[in-house]
Amino acid sequence: MAQAPDISVVIPVFDEEGAAPGLAREVARAFAGRSFELIFVNDASRDATRAVLGALSAEIPQLRVLSHAKNAGQSRAIRTGVLNARGAIIVTLDGDGQNDPADGPALVDALMAGPPELALVGGERVKRQDSRAKKIGSRIGNGVRRRLLKDTANDTGCGLKAFRREAFLRLPYFDHIHRYLPALMLREGYRTAFRPVNHRHRQTGRSKYTNLGRLWASVSDLMGVIWLQSRARNPGMVEEG
C-alpha cells in the first residue's frame, strides 16, 4: 500500500457538475508539492457530477471519488470523507467553488505550527460574495450562536477549515455538525484558531440553502449543542501508571 498522505482534502458535492472539475484542478495546484489526497464525496447527485469527476482520475492521481447511494446532507458527506481519509490533517471546502483552494495550505501551516491541543483552524470569509439577504441572515445567526455557545467563531458557515482527523472523530456526530465544529472542539478540551480567507462568486449551479430553510434546523441544533456543552466533564490530563 502506498504511503499515507499527510493531508486529506475533503469536498462534499451535490449536483455540482459545473463547479467540481475546475475546483479539483484548483486544489491540485494549491497543494502541489505537498503530500495530499483529494476526496470528493458525491452526495447522490442527480446530474453528471460523479462522471465528470471520475474522468479526472488520470489527470489528478491524488483524486478519490466516493458516492452515497442516497442523499444524506453536507455533514454526513464530510464525515464519510473523513472516515475514509488517510491523512492526519483534514481540509474541507464547499463544493460550489466559492471557497478559494489557494487559502487551504495556509490553514494547514497554521494548524501544524500550533501546539498539539490546537485541533482546528477555520477560515473567516472576507468581502463575502453572497446576496445581501444571505449576509444579513448569516451575521444574525453567527452572532446568536457565538453568544450562546461562546465558541469565539465569527463565521462557522465558512466551509474552508483545517483540523486534526483524530480530534474530529472524537466529536459526537449529528446532522449539521459542520457548523458547530469550533464549539464541539472546545468542549473536548481542544483549542481553535481562525484566519481570514477569500470568498468568490458562485459561477455555476445554485445554492442549496435559504435563510428560512436554515432557521428551524439552527434553533434545534443550537439547543442540542447547548445540552452537549452542559453535559461535558473534562478530566484534564490523563496519566498512565
- Does residue 241 form part of some domain? no
- Does residue 240 form part of some domain? no
Q: What is the pTM of this model?
A: 0.89
The CATH number linked to 135 is 3.90.550.10
- Does residue 62 form part of some domain? yes
Spatial strand order of the sheet with 191-197 comes to 63-67, 36-42, 7-13, 89-92, 161-164, 118-125, 191-197
Show the cell assigned to 112: 501544524
pLDDT digits (tens, 9 = 90+) for 222-237: 999 999 999 998 888 7
Domain residue limits at 88: 7-230
Beta carbons of 63 and 81 less than 8 angstroms apart:
no
The pLDDT assigned to 144 comes to 80
Number of separate domains in the chain: 1
- Does residue 176 form part of some domain? yes
pLDDT digits (tens, 9 = 90+) for 12-59: 999 999 999 999 999 999 999 999 999 999 999 999 999 999 999 999
- Does residue 25 form part of some domain? yes
- Does residue 237 form part of some domain? no
- Does residue 76 form part of some domain? yes
